[in-house]
């Protein structure tokens, strides 16, 4: 199941400026990484270690500390990594930004990134993998998906599904799409913790980001919050 | 032409026949020519309704005959009667006031209002009743009248004076008035105030805001179950977002160990909180009542200046703190 686009329109604004800006920034950073890697792979690893989130450094209060928790959400480990995260951000971020306004959306995006880093740091330090840099926007993007789930559970997402060899593009309720991804994360996070499998993907960061959605209400615009409070479509 | 004595006899006869109006006319005619006629004054007084009116009628008689024992005695009698009536009314007014207080205590303000209105109608000297009425009565004009009455009884009441000044300033600022009504849930009065603000705006931003609020209020009137959120609740809710982000930054920066939270980091938290408060406050629509009272409505020069000044201060505090935070993180890196 792969989400293609959100079929419902914005209510308050015409274009998701901040979502677009975040996508552009992430793309620029990846291009910079490619340029750096082309010169010297050692430099690229140093870049990941400096701007990625390394639990060992964070817990020992070394490196950039919390700044690396922020910068790591703008660093990706390859084109596919970037595309998958930015695609999901575009699909789910558009209407969440519409409900928050661009600056509050940025605040929430960073909060989700920090929540994801917090949980990931705690879990990875317990698993003995505290020296591997964690990079990617997926924690923050899962935060955006969680917010989407709370605000627009009935939103309809055009989805790509392969039924045997037949591609299908049904509109699926956001609730089911996001729950599907959440269940996958839970199972994988369980495997990481108890079976020591799949640690190369930071599933705990995804869950940490997702739980940040409980704080989305601190970032909603007054109009959107009033609608939510009155059980009306946000 | 009748003589004074005949005119008096005629008036008495009319009065005894129950023709009070004609009797009064005859006595008035007589008193024009004989203003010192004591008996005529006494009869005229008796033919007047109500103790207060009787006292007023008797007053000129005493001007003409200041030493008359009969007139003095009648005046004293009327004064005693008036006092007794006032006491009786005051007791009933006090009962109504008490009932209003009980209704309020039981959370029934709609029942308290009629009691209060009866109370001040019977006894206008109850300052507390006027003050309470000013809080309960829905219209701004009525609130102002109630406070003016309370202040007539007790000109030294500072709170009432401040409240009155605030209400008078609201009277001149339709946008602020609309916001006050909106906050009290009185949507129809809010709509009227915003409509006035949209028709006679002080400036283009004021017109835009009035139109925006009108749309919102109309939406709420059309959806009666729609509960509005008070501006101060929105202010509190939105203020908390950035400090929450900063709190997480602090926790991670201190290596998840509260013992390593430095005073600088904590001070930064305060700056972010204040900066966030200022940014939200200056961007909030409609503005909270306290803002409108101090700085006026949108479009006023003082308000515009304060809005931009405070917003800039808020952004500087917020972004400045984050910049200092990043700078100290790079400093820590360099120190290693």
With residues binned 3-state (H G I as helix, E B as strand, rest as coil), the percentages for chain B, rounded to 5, are: 80, 0, 20
* Residue A234 lies inside a defined structural domain of this protein: no
Give domain status of residue A179, yes or no. Answer: yes
Could you list the residue range(s) of the whole structural domain that residue A88 is in?
A: 2-229
* Structure ipTM: 0.91
CB pair distance less than 8 Å for A107 and B253? no
pLDDT-based confidence at A10, cuts 50/70/90?
A: confident
- Residue A37 forms part of a structural domain: yes
CATH code where residue A51 lies: 1.20.1540.10
Domain membership flag for residue A165: yes
Q: CB–CB of A65 and B253 under 8 A?
A: yes
Q: What is the DSSP string of chain A?
A: -EEEEE-SPPSS-SS-HHHHHHHHHHHHHHHHHHHHHHH-HHHHHHHHHHHSB-HHHHHTT-TTTHHHHHHGGG--SSHHHHHHHHHHHHHHHHHHHHHH-HHHHHHHHHHHHHHHHHHHHHHHHHTT-TTS-B--SHHHHHHHHHHHHHH-TT-EEEEEEEETTEEE--EEEHHHHHHHHHHHHHHHHHIIIII---TTS-HHHHHHHHHGGGGGGGTS-HHHHHHHHTT---
Please check whether residue B161 is in contact with residue B127, taking contact to mean a CB–CB distance below 8 angstroms.
Answer: no
Residues of A with CB under 8 A from a CB of B: 50, 58-67, 69-70, 104, 107-108, 110-111, 114-115, 117-118, 121-122, 215, 217-219, 222-223, 225-226, 229-230, 232
Cα A198–chain centre separation: 18
Round to whole Å and give the CA distance between B93 and B117.
Answer: 10
Taking CA atoms, B200 is separated from A65, A195, B12, B177, B204, in Å, by 56, 71, 64, 14, 10
Per-residue pLDDT of chain B (336 residues; tens, 9 = 90+): 678 888 889 999 999 998 999 999 999 998 988 888 889 999 999 999 989 899 999 999 888 888 888 899 999 999 999 999 888 888 999 999 999 999 988 888 888 999 999 999 888 888 999 999 988 887 778 889 999 999 999 999 988 888 888 788 777 778 888 887 877 778 888 888 898 888 887 788 788 888 888 888 888 888 877 777 888 899 999 999 999 999 999 999 999 999 999 899 999 999 999 999 999 998 887 777 777 767 766 656 677 788 899 999 999 999 999 999 999 898 888 776
Which residues, in sequence order, are bridge partners of residue A161? A168
Q: Are A212 and A107 in contact (CB under 8 A)?
A: no
pLDDT in tens, A129-145: 788 899 999 999 999 99
Quick one: pLDDT at residue A116?
95
Smallest Cβ–Cβ distance between B240 and the set A218, A222, A229 belongs to: A218
Residues belonging to chain A: 234
Task: Looking at the complex, report in whole angstroms how far the Cα of residue A67 sits from the nearest Cα belonging to chain B.
Answer: 6
* Nearest beta carbon to residue B329 from set A67, A230, A232: A67
The strand pairing partners of A2, in sequence order, are A160
**Residue B298 confidence (pLDDT):** 60
Beta bridge partners of A172: A157
Of A21-25, A181-185, B85-89, B90-94, highest mean pLDDT: A21-25
Give backbone dihedrals phi and psi of A172, rounded to 5 degrees, phi first: -120, 140
**Closest residue to B229, CB basis, from A58, A107, A225:** A225
CA distance A5 to chain B (A): 28
pLDDT at B198: 86
pLDDT at residue B300 in the model: 65
Asked if B273 is an interface residue toward chain A (Cβ–Cβ < 8 A), one would say: no
| Mean pLDDT taken over chain A | 91
Q: Is residue A186, in this structure, part of any structural domain at all?
A: yes
* Tens digits of residue pLDDT in A137-172: 999 999 999 999 999 988 899 999 888 888 889 899
Compute chain B's Rg from CA coordinates. Answer: 34
Instruction: Give the model's confidence band at A19: pLDDT under 50 very low, under 70 low, under 90 confident, else very high.
Output: very high
DSSP structure string for B108-177? -HHHHHHHHHHHHHH-TT-HHHHHHHHHH--SHHHHHHHHHHHHHH-TT-HHHHHHHHHHHHHHH-HHHH
Chain A residue with minimum CA distance to B318: A107
- Touching check for B229 and chain A: CB below 8 Å? yes
Question: So what's the pLDDT on residue B166?
Answer: 76
Number of compact structural domains in chain A: 1
**Is B245 in Cβ contact with A110 (below 8 Å)?**
yes
Q: What is the pLDDT of residue B1?
A: 67
pLDDT of residue B297: 61
C-alpha B1/C-alpha A228 separation (Å) is: 89
Distance of CA B326 to the CA centre of its chain: 51
Contact B329 A229 (CB under 8 A): no
Other CB atoms within 10 Å distance of the CB of residue B282: 19
Q: Do A65 and B252 touch (CB under 8 A)?
A: yes
Is B329 in contact with B253 (CB distance < 8 Å)?
yes
For residue B273, what are the contacts with CB-CB under 8 A and spacing of at least 6? B239, B242, B243
A107·B245 Cβ contact <8 A: yes
pLDDT digits (tens, 9 = 90+) for A79-115: 999 999 999 999 999 999 999 999 999 999 999 999 9
Number of residues that this document lists for chain B: 336
Which among B251, B252, B282, B284 is the top mutation candidate for probing chain A, defined by the most A β-carbons within 10 Å of its own β-carbon?
Answer: B252
Q: What are phi and psi of A161, to 5 degrees?
A: -130, 135
């Amino acid at each position: 199941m792969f989400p293609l686009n959100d079929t419902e329109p914005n209510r308050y604004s015409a274009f998701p400026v901040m979502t677009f800006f975040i996508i552009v920034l992430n793309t620029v950073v990846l291009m910079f990484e490619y340029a750096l890697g082309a010169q010297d792979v050692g430099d690229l690893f140093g870049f990941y270690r400096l701007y990625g989130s390394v639990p060992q450094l964070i817990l020992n209060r070394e490196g950039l500390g919390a700044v690396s928790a922020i910068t790591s959400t703008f660093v990706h480990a390859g084109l596919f990594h970037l595309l998958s995260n930015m695609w999901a951000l575009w699909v789910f971020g558009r209407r969440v930004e519409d409900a928050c306004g661009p600056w509050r959306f940025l605040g929430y995006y960073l909060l989700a990134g920090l929540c994801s880093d917090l949980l990931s740091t705690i879990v990875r330090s317990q698993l003995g993998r505290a020296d591997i840099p964690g990079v990617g926007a997926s924690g923050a993007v899962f935060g955006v998906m969680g917010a989407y789930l709370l605000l627009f559970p009935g939103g309809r997402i055009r989805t790509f599904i392969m039924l045997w060899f037949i591609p299908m593009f049904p509109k699926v309720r956001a609730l089911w799409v996001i729950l599907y991804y959440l269940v996958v994360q839970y199972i994988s996070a369980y495997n990481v913790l108890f079976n020591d499998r799949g640690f190369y993907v930071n599933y705990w960061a995804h869950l940490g980001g997702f739980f940040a959605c409980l704080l989305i209400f601190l970032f909603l615009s007054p109009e959107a919050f009033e609608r939510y409070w009155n059980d009306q479509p946000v | 032409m009748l003589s004074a004595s005949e005119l008096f006899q005629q008036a008495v006869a009319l009065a005894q026949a129950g023709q009070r109006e004609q009797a009064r006319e005859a006595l008035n005619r007589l008193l024009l020519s004989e203003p010192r006629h004591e008996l005529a004054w006494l009869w005229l007084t008796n033919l007047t309704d109500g103790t207060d009116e009787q006292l007023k009628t008797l007053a000129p008689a005493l001007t003409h005959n200041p030493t008359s024992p009969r007139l003095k005695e009648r005046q004293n009698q009327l004064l005693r009667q008036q006092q007794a009536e006032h006491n009786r009314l005051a007791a009933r007014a006090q009962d109504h006031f008490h009932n209003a207080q009980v209704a309020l205590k039981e959370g029934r303000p709609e029942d308290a209002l009629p009691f209060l209105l009866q109370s001040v109608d019977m006894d206008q000297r109850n300052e507390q009743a006027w003050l309470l009425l000013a809080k309960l009565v829905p219209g701004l004009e009525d609130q102002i009248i109630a406070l003016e009455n309370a202040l007539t009884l007790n000109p030294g009441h500072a709170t009432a004076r401040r409240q009155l000044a605030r209400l008078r300033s609201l009277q001149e600022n339709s946008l602020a008035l609309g916001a006050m009504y909106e906050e009290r849930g009185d949507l129809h009065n809010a709509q009227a105030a915003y409509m006035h603000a949209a028709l006679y705006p002080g400036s283009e931003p004021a017109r835009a805001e009035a139109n925006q609020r009108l749309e919102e209020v109309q939406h709420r009137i059309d959806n009666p179950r729609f509960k509005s959120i008070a501006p101060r609740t929105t202010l509190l809710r939105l203020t908390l977002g950035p400090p929450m982000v900063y709190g997480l930054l602090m926790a991670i920066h201190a290596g998840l160990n509260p013992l390593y939270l430095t005073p600088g980091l904590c001070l930064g938290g305060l700056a972010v909180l204040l900066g966030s408060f200022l940014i939200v406050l200056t961007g909030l629509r409609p503005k909270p009542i306290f803002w409108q009272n101090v700085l006026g409505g949108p479009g006023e020069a003082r308000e515009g200046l304060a809005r931009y000044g405070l917003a800039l201060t808020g952004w500087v505090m917020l972004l400045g703190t984050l910049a200092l935070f990043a700078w100290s993180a790079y400093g820590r890196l360099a120190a290693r």
